[in-house]
Structure 1
Amino acid sequence: MKKNTWIAIGICIALTLLVIDGSTGWGWADYRPLRNFDYFGLGISWLLFIFVLIRDRTRGEA
């Protein structure tokens, strides 16, 4: 994989951890379950990342 792909993976993982931390608090704040727009935002970012991986693989750019 290219360097840009690894950067995108890192950004998606960081975004996921920030959303979970902001919503649930991981024990240091009042617990609040993930909301629908949390799921939507995470789902869109990961789905678009997977789309780009598949597109690059079919084009032979991976």
Structure 2
Amino acid sequence: AFGYPLELLLRAGEAGWRIHEVPMTYGPRAAGTRSKVSGSVRGTLRAVRDMAAVLR
């Protein structure tokens, strides 16, 4: 799940798609929630592992 956006970008680039960033305005996180990635050491390590697997 964490590696999906990275994999999507890599495949789009390989297919020759043009990729650019679009400015976004983000609101505050909903009360009582936290990031799965940066909210815990375990989540961060899982994200690093998944992204590394996509890059192999």
> Would you say same fold, with TM above 0.5?
no
Greater helix proportion: 1
Q: State TM-score, norm by structure 2.
A: 0.39
With CA pairs under 8 Å and 6+ residues apart, which has the higher RCO, 1 or 2? 2
